[in-house]
């Protein structure tokens, strides 16, 4: 709030000789008083001052004028801050009315504006102002201070806002991290835009009148400069943003004045050149006065610009807050681009160059964006030579920046700079005819891709250049012409590596143009295309189709023997607009394409080529398009030939019963044919060719005899799998039950074969069988046969316990154990790096397939406990997969997931305990125990920072952990050590994830002697509570080191003495009233110190009473009965909060003495600490 300037408004810090009490004339509605902030001691008084100052301001003439804005109707008066918060609609009219108010009473209006800036900073204090008339007092600026008054708890900032000295007063607890500019949410984001818009509108409305009165701008600039020098972040950030936007608005005024000045000068010159008889001296004088007026205004504007730049920018562009630095860099980029005559020189550019080295990515990004705006204007580049030479190396290094967005914008800036520099010289017409220039650029791009050796993913190279060289990258005619050139042409043909790279570039550009989305890893999500972008995308698809329909068959014919090139080229038809074939009468080109694909299938057995060919047939053979019959006929013809070839090979292969042909050539041909059939069976239904019986024979023979070559087993296994999948897909709602029994037998038989192959002697067969079996179980367990319940009941299948054990044994043996053996094998170091990566990829695929079974509840979730054991040990190879599994299972069932985690830790602990000497107990310093604790810590980190979200899971972990820790405890005298007590050290890693009320309940559960009801933390043997209760209250010296885990676990739950005292208080362990004087203590309101006792008293106390007496004062502070909190815990944590818990009251009285020690002792009521808020 802001108070009108008054002679009475003198704070203690204002009683200096340099400050005069000459005031602005008071408003008629003012009461003639101003409250001294030094007397504000209570919140009620502060609120009264704010209301009083608000009434004074609202009763001012300016406020009354604002209240009559709409058609003369009186509406509720609002402040400028509220207007800006409401939005841009009312802003223009309010600014106009403020200008009118300023013209009538500039002091009152300016105070209103000053209050606006203070409120925008989030300050809820008040501002007092007094006039400063003496300009010659040397010690005035020395008295401009920012201090803290310890008596009132208020912060004062006193600074000059000529012609006033302003004193801003606000509470010391003003949150520096919460003010309008940094608050989250759409409302506050809109507020920032409105705040900037208000400043621009204000300058725009004032540029024709009061902007040059030597009063308004001087005051605003002084105010913002003073606030920008504050130690309070809110003031500094808000005033810096306002000053920068103010300078931007003033720059716009400068541009308009400069244009008007030049126009007036031209008119003056034209008028002066007229014949002397026709010209009038009055016209010349008028133009001359106008021109001088513009020059005078320009001079004033330049002074304002210099004042803001030197007063705010130079002190804040190196601010410790990155948001402030980023604001300065963003605005100086706008100034240089908008007004290059004034700002485009090395005196201003150097700041942008220096901040390219800033540690914060946000600041570096603003610098790059500003430079892009400058380098995008060719007329400005010639004046950037010195800057380019000085900071070129830094800009070149920034594409390797650790921040993704900075690296992208740096690359875009370098592209701009390179384009401008390449066009700087004389343009020479390149040789080569129509595609000469594009051909040269293509060759340079291919050379860069091959020679850089940064990576082999051309997709990301194309994506990086797409925004800047999209027209060049869409020149597919040039690319295909370069590929189809003959080698005889002198020096024009590409090498084999260059041709492969160019084909990859063609495929990447086609994909980018057709899909319109960046590749994986570029951008957070799929890009939402605008109407214009969608139109461009459709045009590109049409262009791709029309060109490659004719060219692709030629390219396939030329490279038909090269598997890699053919596999890439065959992916292009999936981006076709297939209707062009029929609308353009291009069926002959379709026949040519189908012929080439058929020849390629006959030549190749590489799976990438065969799968690409199968996918092309699948895309072309859609029933809804006109070319379906033509493509279906060609597909059927090709598959008939494949099946005929397979039947011939089978007749030759099976020579007699129980034997097969061992000829290597026959085996190779059988292998190639089965691979072709498997590739097409994946995407096309080949059921009518009865492929299942033919391929199943191979698998049955292998299970019985075990002598088939691997080259035949693998494709036969795939073909059988695909055959059954197509039969499952064909099950309809009306399928009779009788037809489902044979299919059920086939499904079970195939599952048994895959299970048998898990122990095959060949590694490839084992891995393929495991992958197929995992996918097979996932499909059968989630079967949805077109709402046919009989089919689901008959065909659905879940693995039994034996099969689940076999699956995990396979993972343990071939994923985790193999990895450990390889690390120990010295010969592994000499293994080729590519082979290592390939083996790791296979292992990751196996583990991911098994984890999917856990996530989708095909395998019991408890099986994940065995996987979690390897989380830390194999973190570099499989950590992401295990962590994702943990996340998905937690999303499915939080409680069961928590039980799985604690089960994992329990199993590891038991294994560790069994390996130790039983007489010596568990060794805490052993590496295996440290590994278990580290695993528990990693598990704890997966719960994140949201303790409320993970509350139930963490509570369940502690419940299960406590029960496990006290398993096997016998006897009620407290002398029997539980065998698993050391497990408390492990679950203590989860203590920091518990909420404070839950910590108290866990501790209460540890020490309570009450038998809890069902659904709560229930211990079977209540006798174990006796020694826990006694141990917690007895001195630590009475216990041995073997009981330390209990102490450590308890300490991990007690974050402060208040919580510790609350636990003791809940047990009713306060000492008796008459036993000693320890129950009486002094309580100071000022510092809340702990009471002191004499050494004699301390020495006479029992150890238990000493502990209680030290904590009694802290416990005495908690007096509230928070029954609602207990009810909330019972509602949300039924397994942790005692179901039938009765409120326990401390029976002993705690006496307190007043601070003055004069009043009688107050008897404190019985204190219930369970569930009490210790922070109150």
The predicted-structure confidence for 464-510, as pLDDT tens digits, reads as follows: 888 777 788 999 999 999 998 865 554 567 889 999 999 999 999 99
* 1002/1016 Cα distance (integer angstroms): 11
Mean pLDDT in residue range 19-29: 32
- Give the number of other CB atoms < 10 A from CB of residue 1033: 17
Residue 387 backbone dihedrals phi, psi, to 5 degrees? -65, -45
Identify the bridge partners of residue 149 per DSSP, sorted by sequence position: 154
Tokens representing residue 1128 in the block: 């909330």
Residue 524: predicted pLDDT: 56
Task: Answer yes or no: are the C-beta atoms of 245 and 289 closer than 8 Å.
Answer: no
Nearest to 252 by CA among 204, 215, 296: 204
User: Comparing 1082 with 144, which gets the higher pLDDT?
Assistant: 144
Q: Which residues contact 432 (CB under 8 A, 6 or more apart)?
A: 439, 440
Q: How confident is the model at residue 596 (pLDDT cuts 50, 70, 90)?
A: very high
Residue 156 backbone dihedrals phi, psi, to 5 degrees? -115, 135
Task: Answer yes or no: are the C-beta atoms of 1035 and 1107 closer than 8 Å.
Answer: yes
- Between CA 601 and CA 609, with CA 607 as vertex, the angle to 5 degrees is 50
Nearest to 239 by CA among 250, 249, 228: 228
Nearest to 885 by CA among 897, 873, 903, 902: 897
Please determine, for residue 1057, whether its predicted confidence score (pLDDT) is greater than 60: no
Residue 786: predicted pLDDT: 55
Tokens representing residue 241 in the block: 């943003």
* 884/851 Cα distance (integer angstroms): 9
- Give the number of other CB atoms < 10 A from CB of residue 540: 20
Task: Answer yes or no: are the C-beta atoms of 97 and 65 closer than 8 Å.
Answer: yes
Residue matched to tokens 């041995």: 1040
Among 98-102, 389-393, 464-468, the minimum mean pLDDT is found in 464-468
Compute CA 536 distance to the chain's CA centroid, rounded to the nearest angstrom.
31
Task: Indicate the SS3 state at residue 1014.
Answer: coil
- Between CA 498 and CA 504, with CA 502 as vertex, the angle to 5 degrees is 120
Residue 17: predicted pLDDT: 30
Residue 80: predicted pLDDT: 78
Task: Answer yes or no: are the C-beta atoms of 1133 and 957 closer than 8 Å.
Answer: no
Residue 152: predicted pLDDT: 52
Instruction: Return the DSSP state at 973.
Output: S
Nearest to 1026 by CA among 1011, 1036, 1045, 1047: 1011
Mean pLDDT in residue range 792-804: 80
Rounded mean pLDDT of the chain? 75
Which sign does the torsion angle of CA 674, 680, 682, 686 carry? Answer: negative
Q: Which residues contact 280 (CB under 8 A, 6 or more apart)?
A: none
The predicted-structure confidence for 1067-1088, as pLDDT tens digits, reads as follows: 333 333 333 333 333 333 333 3
Instruction: Return the DSSP state at 1160.
Output: P
Cis peptide before 163 (omega within 30 of 0): yes
Please determine, for residue 208, whether its predicted confidence score (pLDDT) is greater than 70: yes
Three-state DSSP string of 37-72? HHHCCCHHHHHHHHHHHHHHHHCCHHHHHHCCCECC
Mean pLDDT in residue range 539-547: 93
Q: How confident is the model at residue 1064 (pLDDT cuts 50, 70, 90)?
A: very low
Q: Which residues contact 670 (CB under 8 A, 6 or more apart)?
A: 649, 650, 653, 711, 712
* 595/140 Cα distance (integer angstroms): 94
- Give the number of other CB atoms < 10 A from CB of residue 1110: 17
Q: Which residues contact 1168 (CB under 8 A, 6 or more apart)?
A: 1066, 1121, 1143, 1144, 1145, 1146
Please determine, for residue 68, whether its predicted confidence score (pLDDT) is greater than 50: no
Torsion angle (degrees, nearest 10) of CA 895, 898, 903, 908? 180
Q: Tell the burial category of 73 from Cβ atoms under 10 Å away from its Cβ (0-12, 13-18, 19+).
A: exposed
* 646/611 Cα distance (integer angstroms): 19
Residue 77: predicted pLDDT: 43
Q: How confident is the model at residue 223 (pLDDT cuts 50, 70, 90)?
A: confident
Task: Answer yes or no: are the C-beta atoms of 238 and 154 closer than 8 Å.
Answer: no
Residue 525: predicted pLDDT: 58
Task: Answer yes or no: are the C-beta atoms of 556 and 600 closer than 8 Å.
Answer: yes
* 559/596 Cα distance (integer angstroms): 11
Residue 1137: predicted pLDDT: 41
The predicted-structure confidence for 888-934, as pLDDT tens digits, reads as follows: 999 999 999 999 999 999 999 999 888 876 666 677 778 888 999 99
* 1143/1172 Cα distance (integer angstroms): 11
Tokens representing residue 663 in the block: 């000829």
Beta strand pairing call for 1151-1153 and 1162-1163? antiparallel
Instruction: Return the DSSP state at 938.
Output: H
Task: Answer yes or no: are the C-beta atoms of 1027 and 1148 closer than 8 Å.
Answer: no
The predicted-structure confidence for 971-1004, as pLDDT tens digits, reads as follows: 444 456 778 888 889 999 998 888 888 887 777 6
* 366/343 Cα distance (integer angstroms): 17
> 83 vs 64, 76, 367, CA distance in Å?
15, 12, 33
What is the per-residue burial (b if ≥16 Cβ within 10 Å, else e) of 545-564?
Answer: beebbebbbebbeebbebbe
> 936 vs 311, 611, 983, CA distance in Å?
55, 45, 11
- In angstroms, the first-to-last Cα distance of the chain is 31
- Give the number of other CB atoms < 10 A from CB of residue 270: 10
Task: Answer yes or no: are the C-beta atoms of 155 and 148 closer than 8 Å.
Answer: yes
Torsion angle (degrees, nearest 10) of CA 1037, 1040, 1042, 1048? 0
Residue 788: predicted pLDDT: 62
Looking at the chain, how many residues does it have? 1176
Residue 337: predicted pLDDT: 92
Mean pLDDT in residue range 627-652: 92
Residue 32 Rama label (left phi>0; alpha psi -120 to 50; beta) = left
The predicted-structure confidence for 848-892, as pLDDT tens digits, reads as follows: 999 999 999 999 999 999 999 999 999 999 999 999 999 999 999
């Amino acid at each position: 709030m802001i108070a009108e300037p008054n002679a009475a408004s003198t704070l203690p810090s204002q009683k200096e000789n340099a400050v005069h009490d000459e005031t602005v004339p008071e408003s008629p509605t003012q009461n003639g008083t101003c409250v001294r902030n030094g007397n504000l001691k209570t919140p009620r008084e502060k609120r009264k001052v704010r209301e009083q100052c608000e009434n004074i301001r609202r009763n001012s003439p300016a406020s009354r004028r604002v209240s009559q804005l709409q058609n003369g109707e009186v509406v509720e008066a609002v402040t400028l801050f509220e207007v800006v918060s409401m939005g841009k609609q009312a802003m223009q009219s309010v600014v106009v009315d403020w200008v009118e108010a300023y013209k009538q009473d500039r002091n009152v209006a300016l105070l209103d504006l000053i209050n606006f800036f203070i409120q925008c900073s989030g300050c809820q204090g008040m501002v007092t102002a007094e006039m400063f008339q003496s300009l010659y007092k040397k010690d005035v600026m020395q008295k401009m201070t920012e201090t803290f008054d310890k008596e009132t708890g208020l912060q004062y900032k006193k600074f000059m806002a000529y012609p006033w000295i302003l004193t801003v007063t606000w509470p010391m607890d003003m949150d520096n991290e919460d003010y309008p500019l940094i608050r989250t949410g759409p409302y506050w984001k809109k507020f920032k835009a409105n705040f900037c818009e208000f400043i621009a509108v204000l300058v725009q409305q004032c540029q024709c009148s009061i902007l040059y009165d030597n009063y308004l701008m001087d005051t605003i600039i002084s105010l913002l400069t003073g606030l920008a020098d504050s130690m309070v972040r809110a003031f500094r950030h808000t005033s810096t943003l306002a000053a920068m936007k103010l300078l931007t608005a003033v720059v716009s005024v400068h541009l308009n004045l400069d244009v008007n000045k030049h126009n007036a000068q031209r008119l003056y010159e034209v008028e002066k050149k007229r014949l002397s008889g026709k010209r009038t001296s009055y016209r010349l004088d008028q133009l001359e006065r106008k021109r001088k007026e513009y020059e005078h205004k320009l001079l004033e504007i330049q002074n304002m610009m210099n004042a803001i730049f030197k007063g705010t920018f130079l002190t804040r562009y190196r601010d410790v807050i990155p948001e402030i630095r980023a604001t300065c860099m963003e605005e100086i980029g706008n100034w240089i681009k908008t007004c290059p005559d004034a700002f485009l020189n090395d005196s201003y550019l150097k700041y942008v160059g220096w901040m390219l080295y800033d540690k914060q990515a946000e600041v570096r990004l603003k610098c790059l964006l500003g430079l892009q705006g400058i380098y995008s204007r060719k007329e400005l580049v010639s004046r950037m030579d010195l800057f380019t030479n000085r900071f070129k190396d830094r800009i070149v290094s920034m594409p390797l920046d650790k921040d993704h967005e900075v690296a992208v914008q740096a690359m875009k800036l370098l592209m701009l700079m390179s384009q401008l520099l390449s066009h700087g010289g004389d343009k020479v017409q390149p040789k080569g005819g129509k595609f000469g220039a594009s051909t040269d650029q293509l060759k340079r791009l291919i050379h860069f891709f091959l020679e850089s050796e940064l990576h082999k993913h051309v997709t990301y190279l194309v994506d990086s250049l797409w925004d800047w060289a999209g027209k060049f990258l869409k020149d597919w005619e040039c690319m295909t012409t370069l590929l189809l050139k003959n080698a005889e042409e002198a020096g024009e043909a590409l090498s084999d590596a260059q041709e492969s790279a160019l084909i990859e570039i063609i495929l990447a550009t086609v994909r980018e143009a057709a899909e319109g989305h960046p590749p994986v890893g570029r951008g957070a999500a799929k890009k939402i295309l605008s109407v214009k972008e969608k139109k461009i995308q459709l045009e590109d698809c049409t262009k791709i189709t029309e060109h490659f329909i004719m060219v692709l068959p030629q390219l396939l014919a030329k490279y038909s023997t090269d598997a890699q090139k053919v596999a890439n080229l065959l992916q292009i038809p999936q981006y076709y607009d297939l209707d062009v074939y029929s609308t353009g009468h291009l069926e002959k080109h379709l026949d040519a394409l189908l012929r080439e694909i058929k020849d390629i299938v006959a030549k190749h057995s590489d799976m990438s080529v065969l799968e690409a060919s199968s996918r092309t047939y699948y895309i072309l053979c859609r029933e809804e398009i006109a070319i379906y019959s033509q493509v279906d006929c060609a597909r059927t013809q090709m598959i008939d030939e494949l099946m005929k070839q397979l039947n011939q090979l089978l007749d030759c292969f099976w020579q007699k019963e129980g034997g097969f042909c061992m000829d290597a050539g026959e085996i190779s041909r059988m292998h190639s044919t089965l691979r072709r059939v498997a590739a097409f069976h994946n995407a096309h239904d080949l059921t009518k060719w009865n492929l299942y019986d033919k391929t199943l024979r191979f698998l049955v023979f292998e299970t019985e005899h075990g002598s088939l070559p691997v080259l035949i087993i693998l494709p036969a296994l795939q073909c059988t799998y695909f055959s059954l999948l197509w039969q499952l897909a064909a099950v309809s709602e009306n399928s009779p039950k009788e037809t489902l029994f044979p299919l059920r037998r086939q499904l079970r038989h195939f599952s048994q074969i895959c299970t048998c192959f898990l122990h095959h002697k060949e590694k490839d067969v084992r891995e393929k069988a495991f992958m197929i079996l995992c996918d097979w179980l996932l499909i059968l367990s989630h079967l949805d046969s077109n709402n046919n319940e009989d089919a689901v009941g008959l065909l659905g299948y879940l693995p039994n316990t034996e099969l689940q054990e076999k699956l995990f044994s396979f993972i343990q043996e071939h994923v985790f154990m193999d990895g450990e053996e390889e690390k120990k094998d010295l010969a592994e170091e000499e293994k080729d790096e590519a082979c290592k990566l390939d083996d790791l990829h296979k292992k990751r695929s196996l583990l991911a397939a098994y984890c999917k079974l856990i996530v989708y509840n095909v395998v019991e979730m408890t099986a994940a406990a065995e996987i979690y054991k390897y989380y830390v040990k194999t973190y570099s190879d499989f950590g992401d997969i295990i962590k994702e599994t943990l996340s998905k299972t937690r999303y499915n069932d939080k409680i069961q997931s928590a039980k799985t985690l604690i089960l994992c830790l329990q199993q590891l602990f038991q294994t560790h305990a069994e390996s130790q000497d039983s007489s010596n107990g568990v060794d805490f310093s052993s590496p295996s125990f440290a590994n278990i604790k580290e695993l528990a810590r990693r598990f704890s980190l997966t719960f994140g920072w949201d303790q409320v979200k993970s509350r139930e899971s963490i509570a369940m972990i502690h419940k299960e952990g406590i029960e496990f820790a006290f398993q096997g405890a016998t006897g009620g005298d407290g002398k029997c050590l539980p065998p698993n007590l050391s497990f408390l050290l492990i679950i203590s890693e989860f203590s920091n994830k518990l909420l404070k009320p839950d910590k108290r309940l866990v501790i209460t559960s540890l020490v309570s002697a009450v038998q809890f009801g069902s659904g709560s933390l229930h211990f079977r043997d209540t006798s174990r509570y006796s020694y826990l209760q006694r141990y917690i209250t007895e001195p630590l010296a009475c216990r041995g080191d073997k009981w330390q885990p209990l102490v450590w676990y308890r300490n991990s739950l007690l974050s402060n003495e208040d919580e510790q005292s609350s636990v003791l208080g809940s047990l009713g362990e306060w000492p008796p009233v008459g036993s000693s004087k320890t129950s009486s203590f002094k309580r100071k309101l000022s510092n809340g110190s702990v009471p002191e006792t004499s050494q004699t008293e301390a020495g006479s106390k029992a150890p238990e009473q000493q502990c209680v007496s030290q904590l009694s004062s802290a416990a005495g502070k908690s007096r509230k009965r928070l029954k609602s909190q207990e009810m909330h815990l019972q509602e949300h944590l039924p397994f942790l909060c005692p179901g039938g818990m009765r409120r326990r009251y401390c029976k002993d009285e705690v006496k307190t003495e007043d601070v003055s020690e004069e009043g009688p002792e107050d008897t404190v009521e019985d204190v219930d600490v369970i569930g009490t808020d210790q922070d109150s």
